[in-house]
Amino acid sequence: MTQILSVVSECAPLIKTGGLADVAGALPAALKAHGDHMRVLLPGYRAIMGKLPKTKAVDTYRDLFGGKATLRAAEAHGLDLLILDAPHLYDREGGIYGDAAGHDWPDNPERFAALSYIGALIAKDGAGGWTPDIVHGHDWQAGLTPEYLHGWGVQTPFVFTIHNIAFHGNTGADRLHSLRLDASRFNADHFEFWGQISALKAALAGADRITTVSQTYARELLTPEFGIGMDGILRARKADLTGIVNGIDTDLWNPETDPEITPYKAPAGKASNKRALQKTFGLGKSDGPLCVLVSRLTEQKGIDLLLQALPALLDNGGQLALLGSGAPHLEVALAEAAERHPNLAVKIGYDEALSHQLIAGGDAILVPSRFEPCGLTQLYGLRYGTLPLVALTGGLADTVINASPAALTAGAATGVQFHPVTAQALSDAFTTLCALYADAPTWKKMQRNAMKQPVGWDTSAAEYHAIYTDLTT
Ligand code: ADP
């Protein structure tokens, strides 16, 4: 049984801002089926500490980047957790990465260096008698782990997963000392990136294996357009880079048992959920498709393109119900557009239960992202017979089968893809979507196909297992 320590900054259902948490929360159970045991090292944010019924101290540190800290073992939601309880770093009001106004915490470099440092220390000294065979870090917050492993001469293999390369975790070289880094390695071969310390670069340079969350994104990352400055190092590490598409938690996202909705087995069962959703969002009846969107509201997610392309949906009798939060200018623009269009309804906020109702009640789910490493909501859509309309990029390219004439003839289509990622192409895709929706037998066939797609973790967990096995045997 391979023992794996997952080092990660969020983990569902305990603490979540995005898909990273879903993956971190689902992977341990998925790996269990392959005989692997994964423990999850998480920062002891205030929001987490309040939710853990019982913890057991397994280690203490007198000075962890400026204060006392305790490593606590806990079990919750079937997860075997190691919580880094360091009040000076994590016990504060506000978000996990920044304050309520959306500004990053100024000590984020120390906060996540500490997480990485303890991840490496557990590999070196163990935690309460348990020592991992592999350390698996996620995104820049775990990025410095291989630097600390190297500094102590620890040979434990390090696997790194890129969930979103847009976040580099860069900071000034004046922090070399405070982050306990080896100044002799502050160069382009290790963790220096254009004169700054880069936690992401440290991981890309130092990991034994690098994975990312879809095969298309793995290829895209090698290009300047998507690699965001890291394409060079990734091209150098190409032989060690693998794309493994994310799964979803098929128990939590199961239309037959979902407690947040009127459960259904077949597409026809969506009708009552659609009516309920229209009511919740104050939308009337309409002849066209009810589209839904659940997302962070950022440029990455193509929300600005959506605003421009909306007339092609709304003027064709379509509707949109949207749930999200993010960039204030996009929130305002959406709220203003909703005032003008009776067929557009917007709720600003984060609401898990409502996200289930949207996915169940919608006819189609929109993911118009400029880049999308994997994307999860299109996978929820497939499982719920809510056809994805997505940009042809990253994981969206890998998980949706476009309703091309050939795919429709073969009876294989599950959604609509558009390319290039422009407002014009999205408008055209809305026109296609409305035409498909008007063709009831074709639409129903696509829904059935969608609901049959394998979107769980089986295949992907086997691929992670193969990497761990490769590194330990
Ligand atoms: P990202 O990680 O880039 O934000 P993903 O599609 O990979 O995008 O994952 C987003 C996750 O967060 C999904 O589980 C989605 O349902 C959830 N989510 C995003 N915004 C909201 C919201 N406003 N309310 C509820 N869930 C949300």
Per-residue pLDDT tens over the stretch 68-112: 999 999 999 999 999 999 999 999 999 999 998 889 999 999 999
Report the percentage of the chain scoring pLDDT > 90. 97
Res 48: pLDDT? 96
Q: Does the CB atom of residue 436 touch ligand 1 within 6 A? A: no
Assign 425 a pLDDT band (cuts: 50, 70, 90): very high
Tokens, residue 89: 């770093």
Residues 6+ apart with CB under 8 A from 301: 295, 324, 326, 367, 368, 369, 370
Q: Does the CB atom of residue 296 touch ligand 1 within 6 A? A: yes
Q: Could you tell me the distance, in angstroms and rounded to a whole number, from the CA of residue 269 to the centre of ligand 1?
A: 25
Res 351: pLDDT? 96
Residues 6+ apart with CB under 8 A from 324: 293, 294, 295, 296, 297, 301, 303, 348
Look at residue 275 and tell me whether its pLDDT is greater than 90.
yes
Atom number in ligand 1 closest to CA 20? 2
Q: Does the CB atom of residue 19 touch ligand 1 within 6 A? A: yes
Res 102: pLDDT? 81
Return d(Cα 153, Cα 411) in angstroms, integer: 56
Return d(Cα 222, Cα 214) in angstroms, integer: 13
Starting at the earlier edge strand, list the strands of the sheet with 192-193: 170-171, 196-198, 192-193
Assign 394 a pLDDT band (cuts: 50, 70, 90): very high
Residue closest via CA to ligand 1's atom 9 equals 19
User: Domains in the chain, please, with CATH?
Assistant: 3-247+457-472 (3.40.50.2000), 267-452 (3.40.50.2000)
Give the C-alpha distances (Å, rounded to integers) separating 244 from 16, 219, 374, 440, 451: 21, 12, 9, 35, 21
Closest by Cα among 313, 402, 417, 321 to 360: 321
Tokens, residue 16: 């979540």
Closest by Cα among 274, 318, 283, 299 to 430: 318
Tokens, residue 14: 């305990």
Res 100: pLDDT? 86
The pLDDT of 254-272, averaged and rounded, is 98
Q: Could you tell me the distance, in angstroms and rounded to a whole number, from the CA of residue 395 to the centre of ligand 1?
A: 15
Look at residue 192 and tell me whether its pLDDT is greater than 90.
yes
Residues 6+ apart with CB under 8 A from 274: 290, 361, 362, 363
Q: Could you tell me the distance, in angstroms and rounded to a whole number, from the CA of residue 246 to the centre of ligand 1?
A: 13
Q: Does the CB atom of residue 361 touch ligand 1 within 6 A? A: no
Q: Does the CB atom of residue 352 touch ligand 1 within 6 A? A: yes
What letter does residue 314 receive in the DSSP assignment?
H
Q: Does the CB atom of residue 18 touch ligand 1 within 6 A? A: yes
Q: Does the CB atom of residue 247 touch ligand 1 within 6 A? A: no
Please answer whether residues 210 and 136 qualify as being in contact, where contact means their C-beta atoms are separated by less than 8 angstroms.
Answer: no
CA torsion 19→22→23→25, rounded to 10°? Answer: 150
Return d(Cα 249, Cα 271) in angstroms, integer: 24
User: What number of other Cβ atoms are within 10 A of residue 465's Cβ?
Assistant: 18
Please answer whether residues 207 and 149 qualify as being in contact, where contact means their C-beta atoms are separated by less than 8 angstroms.
Answer: no
Q: Does the CB atom of residue 324 touch ligand 1 within 6 A? A: yes
Atom number in ligand 1 closest to CA 323? 23
The pLDDT of 134-147, averaged and rounded, is 98
Atom number in ligand 1 closest to CA 300? 3
Starting at the earlier edge strand, list the strands of the sheet with 79-85: 55-61, 69-76, 79-85, 37-43, 3-7, 134-138, 158-162, 209-212, 241-243
Give 329-368 pLDDT, tens digit per residue: 999 999 999 999 999 999 999 999 999 999 999 999 999 9
Please answer whether residues 376 and 352 qualify as being in contact, where contact means their C-beta atoms are separated by less than 8 angstroms.
Answer: no
Q: Could you tell me the distance, in angstroms and rounded to a whole number, from the CA of residue 20 to the centre of ligand 1?
A: 9
Tokens, residue 448: 């059935």
Return d(Cα 202, Cα 168) in angstroms, integer: 10
Pairing of strands 158-162, 69-76: unpaired
Residue closest via CA to ligand 1's atom 24 equals 350
Atom number in ligand 1 closest to CA 12? 14
Res 101: pLDDT? 84
Give 200-234 pLDDT, tens digit per residue: 999 999 999 999 999 999 999 999 999 999 999 99
Q: Could you tell me the distance, in angstroms and rounded to a whole number, from the CA of residue 195 to the centre of ligand 1?
A: 33
User: What number of other Cβ atoms are within 10 A of residue 398's Cβ?
Assistant: 17
Look at residue 412 and tell me whether its pLDDT is greater than 90.
yes
Res 375: pLDDT? 97
User: What number of other Cβ atoms are within 10 A of residue 54's Cβ?
Assistant: 9
User: What number of other Cβ atoms are within 10 A of residue 287's Cβ?
Assistant: 11
Q: Does the CB atom of residue 171 touch ligand 1 within 6 A? A: no
The pLDDT of 392-400, averaged and rounded, is 98
The pLDDT of 172-176, averaged and rounded, is 98
Please answer whether residues 9 and 115 qualify as being in contact, where contact means their C-beta atoms are separated by less than 8 angstroms.
Answer: yes
SS3 391: strand
Res 269: pLDDT? 97
Please answer whether residues 90 and 44 qualify as being in contact, where contact means their C-beta atoms are separated by less than 8 angstroms.
Answer: yes
Q: Does the CB atom of residue 23 touch ligand 1 within 6 A? A: no
Look at residue 53 and tell me whether its pLDDT is greater than 90.
no
The pLDDT of 187-202, averaged and rounded, is 97
Atom number in ligand 1 closest to CA 164? 3
Average pLDDT, rounded, for the chain: 97
The pLDDT of 105-131, averaged and rounded, is 98
Res 6: pLDDT? 98
Q: Which residues on neighbouring strands pair with residue 197, listed in sequence order?
A: 171, 192
